């Protein structure tokens, strides 16, 4: 019996050595978006756990803003270790002391992330193109540019949102009318002219696709490529367009929540997420651009993304300071019929 037990323990030790480090019992909780984003992370979850010896658990957020609100409510007793979010909400969370600067010495893959993609709140994991998507079989003409949304042939067909990317759609409307985030008035006037074409207003990015799929809208007037990416193709009725100007890509970061005990394990998970092989597998599913300079963007993205020459980088501190006013004005002037 003793000999059998000894042999069994040796066999177990050998199996663990072959499988990689043992997975720690206490999981690293990552808050991220649902739908394709969770699917993409689940596709690499096992490999991250093996390479880090740390278990991962995912919790979803409807949007970066909704995720921030949850973390604000948990600030005294945080339940999340890592948070994936857009740069605008990350800046707010850092200022509020919800997240903290990363222990860079524990994340060697940071050396392969271009300096411009490493923010005080954390490094970029991928950049997500924004534009419009629509059903070509239910839309009276091919949509090519932002201005097409104002075509009267699209009456009642459009869904859009202020919640996505901290009001970026309003900023784009302002730029089309000669303004910008610091001169937002022209944007609201431009959007008032869009009201006949607006139907349902969506909250979460995945909801935009559900509305189009269900026929409640034909056009997502502001949409995330990652949400519709898997439905695109030469024979598909789903089309995504990123207009030549103005162009915007959401820079999505991975950040570390302040006050959690397993900081070193969380850093290992971040390092694994920034690995070029893992990055390529993630962005292949999302249709996004990886941040690691040694990782390649998906080949299919080349048919969708124009040359990136006119990327808009708003002053997010200004946006954050005025976003609440914009929401009130949006609800009063645009949503109200």
Q: Which CATH number fits domain 2-127+250-303: 3.40.630.30, 3.10.129.10, 3.40.190.10, 3.40.50.12780?
A: 3.40.190.10
Residue 322: burial class (beta carbons within 10 Å; 0-12, 13-18, 19+): middle
DSSP character at residue 112? G
Of 120, 123, 182, 132, nearest in space to 158 by CA: 132
Instruction: Give residue-wise pLDDT tens across range 324-333.
Output: 999 999 999 9
54-61 and 219-224: which strand pairing? unpaired
The length of the chain in residues reads 337
185-194 and 168-176 helices, crossing angle to 10°: 90
Instruction: Give residue-wise pLDDT tens across range 192-227.
Output: 999 999 999 998 888 999 999 999 999 999 999 988
Q: Are domains 2-127+250-303 and 129-249+307-335 of this chain identical in fold?
A: yes
Cα pseudo-dihedral 120, 123, 126, 131, rounded to 10: 0
Task: Express the helix, strand and coil content of the chain in percent, nearest 5 each.
Answer: 50, 20, 30
| pTM for the predicted model, two decimal places | 0.75
pLDDT at 10 over 80: no
**Domain 129-249+307-335 falls under CATH 3.40.190.10:** yes
Q: What DSSP letter does each residue of 267-289 carry, written as one string? A: HHHHHHHTSHHHHHHHHHHHT-E
Domain ranges of the chain: 2-127+250-303, 129-249+307-335
pLDDT at 307 over 90: no
Cα pseudo-dihedral 8, 13, 16, 21, rounded to 10: 150
Instruction: Count Cβ atoms below 10 Å from residue 155 Cβ, excluding itself.
Output: 11
Q: CB-based contacts of 318: which residues, under 8 Å, 6+ apart? A: 181, 182
């Amino acid at each position: 019996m003793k000999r059998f037990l000894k042999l069994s323990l040796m066999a177990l030790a050998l199996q663990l050595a072959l499988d990689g480090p043992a997975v720690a019992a206490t999981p690293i909780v990552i808050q991220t978006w649902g739908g394709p984003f969770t699917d993409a992370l689940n596709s690499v979850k096992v490999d991250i756990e093996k390479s880090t010896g740390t278990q991962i658990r995912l919790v979803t957020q409807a949007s970066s803003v909704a995720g921030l609100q949850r973390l604000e409510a948990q600030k005294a007793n945080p339940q999340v270790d890592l948070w994936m979010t857009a740069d605008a909400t990350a800046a707010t969370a850092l200022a509020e002391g919800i997240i903290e600067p990363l222990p860079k010495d524990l994340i060697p893959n940071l050396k392969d992330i271009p300096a411009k993609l490493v923010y005080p709140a954390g490094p970029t994991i991928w950049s997500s193109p924004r534009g419009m998507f629509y059903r070509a079989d239910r839309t009276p003409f091919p949509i090519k540019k932002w201005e097409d949304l104002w075509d009267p042939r699209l009456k009642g067909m459009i869904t859009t949102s202020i919640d996505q990317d901290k009001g970026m759609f309003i900023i784009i409307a302002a730029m089309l009318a000669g303004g910008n985030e610091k001169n937002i008035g022209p944007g609201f006037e431009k959007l008032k002219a869009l009201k006949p074409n607006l139907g349902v207003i969506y909250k979460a990015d995945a909801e935009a696709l559900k509305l189009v799929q269900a026929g409640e809208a034909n056009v997502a007037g502001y949409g995330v490529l990652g949400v519709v990416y898997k439905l695109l193709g030469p024979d598909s009725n789903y089309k995504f367009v990123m207009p030549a100007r103005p162009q915007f890509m959401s820079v999505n970061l991975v950040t570390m929540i302040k006050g959690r005990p397993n900081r070193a394990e969380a850093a290992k998970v971040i390092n694994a997420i920034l690995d070029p092989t893992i990055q390529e597998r993630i962005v292949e599913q999302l249709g996004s651009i990886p941040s690691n300079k040694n990782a390649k963007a998906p080949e299919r993205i080349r048919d969708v993304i124009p040359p990136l020459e006119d990327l808009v980088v708003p002053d997010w501190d200004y946006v954050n300071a005025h976003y609440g006013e914009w929401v009130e004005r949006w609800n009063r002037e645009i949503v109200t019929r």
